[in-house]
């Protein structure tokens, strides 16, 4: 019972993050938040897997570092988009414009 909770909870969190990412495509900020939620659930899954296999937590900390860098990059893209276009709607953003 406890093992199914260990493996089931991160999988459920990952699937819910994917569902929110697919269903909500209006604002860039909500998409970035759902991507961070997916990364957080993957980090929880990786931490549980490494603890069950008796590995050190170094790999989990390295993955957490990369996810923080990914979040900072996404926020910088969001800020530059708001500065150039005035909002974060995908409807007003045209990829063909420079």
pLDDT tens figures, 78-93: 888 888 777 777 666 6
Ordered by start, the domain boundaries in the chain are 2-85
**CATH: 3.40.50.300, 1.10.287.3510, 1.10.10.10, 2.60.40.10. Which one for 2-85?**
1.10.287.3510
pTM: 0.76
Q: Where are the beta strands (DSSP E) in the chain?
A: none
- Measured between alpha carbons, how far is residue 47 from residues 6, 29, 32, 90 in Å? 11, 27, 22, 35
DSSP 53: T
pLDDT tens figures, 17-74: 899 888 877 788 888 888 888 988 888 888 888 888 877 777 778 888 888 888 898 8
pLDDT at 2 over 60: yes
pLDDT of res. 90: 67
pLDDT of res. 7: 76
């Amino acid at each position: 019972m406890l093992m199914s909770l260990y493996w089931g909870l991160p999988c459920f969190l990952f699937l819910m993050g994917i569902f929110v990412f697919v269903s909500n495509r209006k604002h860039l900020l909500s998409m970035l938040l759902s991507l961070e939620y997916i990364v957080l659930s993957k980090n929880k899954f990786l931490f549980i897997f490494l603890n069950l296999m008796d590995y050190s937590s170094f790999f989990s900390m390295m993955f957490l570092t990369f996810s923080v860098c990914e979040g900072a990059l996404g926020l910088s893209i969001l800020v530059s988009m708001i500065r150039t276009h005035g909002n974060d709607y995908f409807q007003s953003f045209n990829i063909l414009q420079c």
